[in-house]
Amino acid sequence: MKRASPTRQRLAALGLLGIPLLTYPLIALPEGSLAGIPASYLYLFGVWSGLIVLAALVAERQGK
């Protein structure tokens, strides 16, 4: 059986990290608002954009 590359393993781990962070119980925890934007929206889009940035860093690091 062929072993997966380290980049592929890191991206899979990142996906597995993102699943619990984006489930309902954690999305519902933040309360209140900041500048009129609900905290749950800020949490949702903050985690989402963080996962995208981390995935980009892992993918770009592939050649090094």
Q: Would you say residue 64 has pLDDT above 80?
A: no
Could you tell me if 32 and 39 are in contact, meaning their C-beta atoms sit under 8 angstroms apart? yes
Q: What local confidence, expressed as pLDDT, does residue 62 receive?
A: 65
- For 22-56, write each residue's pLDDT tens digit: 999 999 999 999 999 999 999 999 999 999 999 99
Q: What is the pTM of this model?
A: 0.85
Euclidean distance between CA atoms 55 and 39, whole angstroms: 24
Which residue has tokens 């781990």?
Answer: 13
Residue 60: C-alpha distances to residues 12, 23, 43, 47 (Å): 15, 28, 26, 20
Domain residue extents for the chain: 6-63
Residue 12: C-alpha distances to residues 1, 15, 21, 42 (Å): 18, 5, 15, 25
Q: What local confidence, expressed as pLDDT, does residue 2 receive?
A: 79
